[in-house]
Amino acid sequence: MDKLLIKGGRPLQGEVVISGAKNAALPELCAALLTAEPVTLTNVPRLQDVNTTLKLLRMMGVQAERSEAEPDTVAINASNVTSREATYDLVKTMRASILVLGPLLARFGEAKVSLPGGCAIGSRPVDQHIKGMQAMGAEITVEHGYIHAKTRRLKGARITTDMVTVTGTENLMMAAVLAEGETVLENAAQEPEIPDLAEMLIKMGAKIEGHGTSKILIQGVERLGGVAHRIVPDRIEAGTFLCAVAAAGGDVTLRRARADHLDAVIDKLRDAGATIESGADWIRVKNDKRLRAVGFRTSEYPAFPTDMQAQFMALDCIAEGTARITETIFENRYMHVNELVRLGAKIEVDGHTAVVQGVPQLSGATVMATDLRASASLVIAGLVADGETVVDRIYHLDRGYDQMETKLRGIGADIQRIK
Ligand SMILES: CC(=O)N[C@H]1[C@@H](OP(=O)(O)OP(=O)(O)OC[C@H]2O[C@@H](n3ccc(=O)[nH]c3=O)[C@H](O)[C@@H]2O)O[C@H](CO)[C@@H](O)[C@@H]1O
Ligand SMILES: C=C(OP(=O)(O)O)C(=O)O
């Protein structure tokens, strides 16, 4: 199992190119199931989750290949879909496999998808995906751990989800584009990956309005065509690098990054004392002093993202003062806390709130990654800790970061992968 060995204490300098967003790539790869015509995605990040999605599509008979000449380009052809099933073996390694449910049901009138089950950050049910598709007329049964869905043709419906759900909104939007009549999605998620998916679907011939707001209107069409689409930059990867540089100190410019998708995180970094400038497709972060601890509360976009909670907490650990952090999206997203404490952090958790009392220095140790963003927070802590930090179980990191250690080495970090 690969590990990362980090020698902390080096400031970071230079430039990093931000990859395409994992959370846009996964639904957009699944959206290719909606058409028999060729789909080309560019700016596809090199991630384990993308490999898993390509494998899932191939198991359905779909041609889905990365270009050898242009590795950020993936060509997909779903003209000959031979299976409408996502098996437990794949869904258990990647929850986002649930995103094939909407497209399969919409185009073929049937789908069999394993229930994802809980994961390291929470129980994460998919009841809203199911409820929405039932409202569109699908017959759904859950048996032997699988969702079995059937319909003649989905019918447009008015759907209000009980809570804001990102993949739920995406799944229902992909189901509705081929349904008969109009669908209204109320309480829709507004994360930038949703308008990115909607724009791809519109280029395929879908009729969608209101994407990027909490009310999405979809007029179903008979069929969709092929498309070439460039995936939006990964705001969470960008936010992770911003926190790393602010914590370790230095001066780094992120290229192909969208500051307008990171307003809440950038505001908090400025409150902490980092200097941030930005243009249309770049963000520059500078810091040469000890930061101030800053509290925040995670919530749906455009508020502070839960996917940045662990990384910002790592920064608070070595800042001056005390920060109060509240996690409102997932019930169990503090698995990194005990590992940060092993590095010398002072953190107390009470329910959904963590109180971080900044310490002047962390000290390197061996720590274990428990989920994707927890892993990133341990890498940031390792970059600022005194001595050597070994981060074990980094397969979590490979699921969602495109060559993180190579990018960090490029800006001066002392970080190596050990096999
Ligand atoms: C692939 C992808 O895009 N993953 C992101 C997506 O996950 P994901 O789409 O799984 O997260 P949701 O937005 O659905 O979850 C929000 C909350 O709603 C609950 N819920 C959700 C659906 C449902 O049917 N029933 C239910 O109870 C969840 O347990 C959670 O407490 O949004 C999360 C919240 O921004 C991010 O952390 C993930 O990185
Ligand atoms: C929780 C995350 O992803 P997923 O929904 O794929 O588990 C994440 O990206 O932080």
d(CA 201, CA 33): 11
d(CA 134, CA 162): 15
Ligand 1: residue of 133, 163, 234 to mutate (most ligand atoms within 8 A of CB) is 163
Q: Establish whether residue 399 lines the binding site of ligand 1, counting it when its CB lies within 6 angstroms of any ligand atom.
A: no
Q: Which residue has the least CA distance to atom 7 on ligand 2?
A: 95
30 is catalytic: no
Q: What SS3 class is residue 284? A: strand
Q: Are 30 and 173 in contact (CB under 8 A)?
A: no
Burial of 123 (0-12, 13-18, 19+ CB in 10 A): exposed
Q: Establish whether residue 183 lines the binding site of ligand 1, counting it when its CB lies within 6 angstroms of any ligand atom.
A: no
Q: Which residues contact 351 (CB under 8 A, 6 or more apart)?
A: none
The tens-digit pLDDT sequence of the chain (419 residues) is 899 999 999 999 999 999 999 999 999 999 999 999 999 999 999 999 999 999 999 999 999 999 999 999 999 999 999 999 999 999 999 999 999 999 999 999 999 999 997 788 999 999 999 999 999 999 999 999 999 999 999 999 999 999 999 999 999 999 999 999 999 999 999 999 999 999 999 999 999 999 999 999 999 999 999 999 999 999 999 999 999 999 999 999 999 999 999 999 999 999 999 999 999 999 999 999 999 999 999 999 999 999 999 999 999 999 999 999 999 999 999 999 999 999 999 999 999 999 999 999 999 999 998 999 999 999 999 999 999 999 999 999 999 999 999 999 999 999 999 99
Q: Establish whether residue 254 lines the binding site of ligand 1, counting it when its CB lies within 6 angstroms of any ligand atom.
A: no
d(CA 24, CA 35): 18
C-alpha of residue 353 to centroid of ligand 2, in Å: 20
C-alpha of residue 289 to centroid of ligand 2, in Å: 32
| Residue 119 confidence (pLDDT) | 84
Q: Establish whether residue 124 lines the binding site of ligand 1, counting it when its CB lies within 6 angstroms of any ligand atom.
A: yes
| Cis peptide preceding 360, ω within 30 of 0 | no
Structure tokens at 329: 């999206």
C-alpha of residue 192 to centroid of ligand 2, in Å: 15
Place of tokens 């494998």: 55
Instruction: Give the CA distances from residue 356 to residues 274, 316, 348, in Å, rounded to whole numbers and listed in that order.
Output: 19, 7, 7
Ligand 1: residue of 53, 124, 127, 162 to mutate (most ligand atoms within 8 A of CB) is 124
Pairing of strands 322-326, 296-297: parallel
Residue 260 CB neighbour total at 10 angstroms: 11
Q: Which residue has the least CA distance to atom 1 on ligand 2?
A: 307
Structure tokens at 17: 């190119």
Q: Edge-to-edge, what's the strand order for the sheet holding 215-219?
A: 158-160, 182-186, 215-219, 207-209
Q: Are 273 and 289 in contact (CB under 8 A)?
A: yes
* Torsion angle, alpha carbons of 233, 236, 241, 245, to 10: 130
C-alpha of residue 373 to centroid of ligand 2, in Å: 8
Q: Is 22 assigned a ligand-binding role in the annotation?
A: yes
